[in-house]
Amino acid sequence: MEDILIKNAGEFCGKNVRFKGWIIHNRPTGKLVFFELRDGSGTIQCVLFSGNIGENDFLSAKALTLETSVIVEGVIRKESRSKTGYELDVTYLEIIQQPHEEFPISPKEHGVGFLMENRHLWLRSQRQTSILKIRLNIIKYSREFFDKQGVIIFDAPIISPVSCEGTTQLFETKYFDEKAYLSQSGQLYNEVGAMALGRVYSFGPTFRAEKSKTRRHLTEFWMIEPEAAFYNLE
């Protein structure tokens, strides 16, 4: 029995596999239970027939709730009606943990304030995980671009003793017994790095303390900042 990721299900058609993940939908009907499973790499529909599993396990499967963590085993088969083109015929189900309360984020519409207060759970939604995967690729190809140009990454500290832009609107913190600030930019450090390495860039979190009520203003974001010696505007 092999542990695999859901995104690789098509490579194991007709084989016994094991998935570890979380329930995102459950629909019992008669002697069958259809539930959708996610593991971070993708989702797959699982079909559980009462005759393939013990009675107690079948009753447990019918009662599966949103975000229950499980281990399932079964055979991968093609299914044209499935979103991914494959399904899992379940022969084994193990419940790792079932929430004691109803999962607060449902398919219905929620306000931004509610979602932000439950962001650690909101991250489990498809929209949020898709954004994280897009971000991952932006980071990957940005680094690849600079690597090909021979530009060296120069990680700047997040905590800074001074403002790099001459503004007093900084997030202040204590660094042992000294005043310190969350960095607005890696620019000052990049200038030092460029004198040593020629061409450098920093890529990390940036903090801006200007007060604003618009959705276009960010107090924290990640910024790419290149710095190079002997460059002119041309």
**pLDDT tens, residue by residue, 164-197:** 766 668 899 999 999 999 999 998 899 999 999 9
Alpha carbon separation from 150 to 145, 146, 194, 226 (Å, rounded)? 9, 6, 13, 12
Bridging pattern class, strands 2-3 and 16-29:
parallel
Point out the least confidently predicted range of 43-47, 69-73, 208-212.
208-212
Structural contact between residues 53 and 91, judged by C-beta atoms closer than 8 angstroms: yes
More reliable by pLDDT, 164 or 159: 159
- Torsion sign over Cα 142, 148, 149, 153: positive
Residue 223's CB is within 10 A of a number of other CB atoms, namely: 14
Query: How confident is the model over 35-64, as a mean pLDDT?
Result: 93
Instruction: Give the residue from 60, 91, 55 showing the smallest Cα distance to 76.
Output: 91
Structural contact between residues 96 and 52, judged by C-beta atoms closer than 8 angstroms: no
- Which of the 8 DSSP states describes residue 108? S
Measure the CA–CA gap between 79 and 45, rounded to whole angstroms. Answer: 10
Binning pLDDT at 50, 70 and 90, where does residue 88 land? very high
Binning pLDDT at 50, 70 and 90, where does residue 160 land? confident
Task: Give the mean pLDDT of the chain.
Answer: 91
Measure the CA–CA gap between 1 and 233, rounded to whole angstroms. Answer: 61
- Torsion sign over Cα 139, 129, 36, 94: positive
Q: Is 83 exposed, middle or buried (0-12, 13-18, 19+ CB in 10 A)?
A: exposed
**pLDDT tens, residue by residue, 4-31:** 999 999 999 999 999 999 999 999 999 9
Query: How confident is the model over 214-223, as a mean pLDDT?
Result: 87
**pLDDT tens, residue by residue, 107-152:** 788 998 999 999 999 999 989 999 999 999 999 999 999 999 999 9
Looking at the DSSP bridge assignments, the partners of residue 90 are 48, 74
Alpha carbon separation from 167 to 104, 148, 184 (Å, rounded)? 42, 35, 10
Alpha carbon separation from 219 to 115, 172, 212 (Å, rounded)? 19, 13, 9
At 198 the three-state DSSP class reads coil
Q: What is the pLDDT of residue 166?
A: 64
Residue labelled with tokens 């060296």: 152
Element (H, E) at 201: strand 199-207
Looking at the DSSP bridge assignments, the partners of residue 174 are 179
Q: What is the pTM of this model?
A: 0.81
Measure the CA–CA gap between 57 and 94, rounded to whole angstroms. Answer: 8
Q: What is the pLDDT of residue 233?
A: 86
Q: What is the pLDDT of residue 82?
A: 82
Q: What is the pLDDT of residue 168?
A: 62
